[in-house]
């Protein structure tokens, strides 16, 4: 039973437009949520996080929104750039244990 | 500074053999994690070390899998009697301590294990 779900395996977005990646979770006990970005043949790299007591966290072009009542979070990237093409993993954590979604492959089109 | 390193980067072995995968965490990081990523999946938690001790090994799939971190730095993941289903990328990550609620984990590039 997947606790963290990314229902879109892939997403294509025009360069300069907004990319929105979505994630749903089932366990209301998670303390924090994270987004990781992964390039081929590399390990995931941390992108942005949000505490369960917040509803928004912004870092440059990246903003994460958390809707606890819907158990849903999203990552907004604006404007999208070619280097943003990668696989994005949503993850949820409690204490030191992190559970990852399956990932969404983002393609930024020229 | 040096990130998390993992060796070997690729390992091909035959069914039934024993393999060891090594992880060198970032210097000073007390927490170390092993994950397994199968094709089309996200990283799946295997085991977590705080210092030398395994604080949580609930993700190890069975008793063929074992991991050690004898001096609180380098860790080795050991897989006995490998099976074809063990084929995956094994990722190691480290973080400063368990007190960081955001638990930023720094990942290595992974070891791709192929069991023939």
Handedness of CA A12, A16, A17, A23 (dihedral sign): positive
The gap from C-alpha A7 to its chain's centroid, in whole angstroms, comes to: 12
A5: confidence class by pLDDT, cuts 50, 70, 90: very high
Name which of A61-70, A89-98, B76-85, B106-115 the model is least confident about. A89-98
Q: Could you read off the pLDDT of B3-45 as tens digits, one per residue?
A: 999 999 999 999 999 999 999 999 989 999 999 999 989 999 9
Going from the C-alpha of A39 to that of each of B49, B55, B105, the distances in angstroms are 26, 30, 16
Please tell me which residue of chain B has the smallest CA distance to A42: B109
Structure tokens at B82: 């490998």
Two tokens, residue A87: 């696989």
Four-CA torsion A27, A28, A34, A35, nearest 10 degrees: 60
Sheet holding A4-5, edge to edge: A4-5, A19-25, A72-77, A62-67, A56-59
User: Which chain B residues touch A93 with a CB distance below 8 Å?
Assistant: 103
Nearest-Cα distance to chain A for B19, in Å, is 21
Please indicate if any CB of chain A lies within 8 Å of the CB of B25.
no
Q: Is A45 on the interface with B (CB under 8 A)?
A: yes
- Alpha carbons A2 and B58: distance in angstroms, whole number: 16
Determine the pLDDT at residue A97. 81
State percent of chain A over pLDDT 90. 87
């Amino acid at each position: 039973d997947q606790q963290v779900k990314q229902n879109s395996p892939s997403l294509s977005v025009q360069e300069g437009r907004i990319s929105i990646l979505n994630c749903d979770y089932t366990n209301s006990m998670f303390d924090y949520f994270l987004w990781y970005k992964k390039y081929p043949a590399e390990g995931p790299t941390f992108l942005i996080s949000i505490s369960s007591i917040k509803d928004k966290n912004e870092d440059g072009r990246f903003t994460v929104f958390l809707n606890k009542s819907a158990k849903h979070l999203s990552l907004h990237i604006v404007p999208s750039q070619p280097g943003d093409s990668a696989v994005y993993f949503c993850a949820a954590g409690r204490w030191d244990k992190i559970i990852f979604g399956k990932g969404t492959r983002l393609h930024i089109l020229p | 500074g040096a990130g998390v390193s993992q060796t070997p980067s690729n390992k091909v072995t035959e069914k039934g053999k024993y393999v060891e995968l090594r992880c060198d965490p970032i210097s000073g990081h007390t927490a170390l994690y092993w994950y397994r990523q199968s094709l089309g999946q996200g990283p799946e938690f295997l085991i977590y070390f705080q210092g030398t001790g395994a604080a949580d090994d609930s993700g190890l799939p069975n008793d063929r899998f074992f991991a050690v971190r004898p001096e609180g730095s380098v860790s080795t993941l050991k897989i006995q009697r490998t099976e074809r289903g063990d084929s995956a990328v094994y990722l190691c990550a480290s973080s400063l301590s368990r007190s960081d609620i955001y638990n930023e984990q720094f990942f290595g590039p992974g070891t791709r294990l192929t069991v023939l």
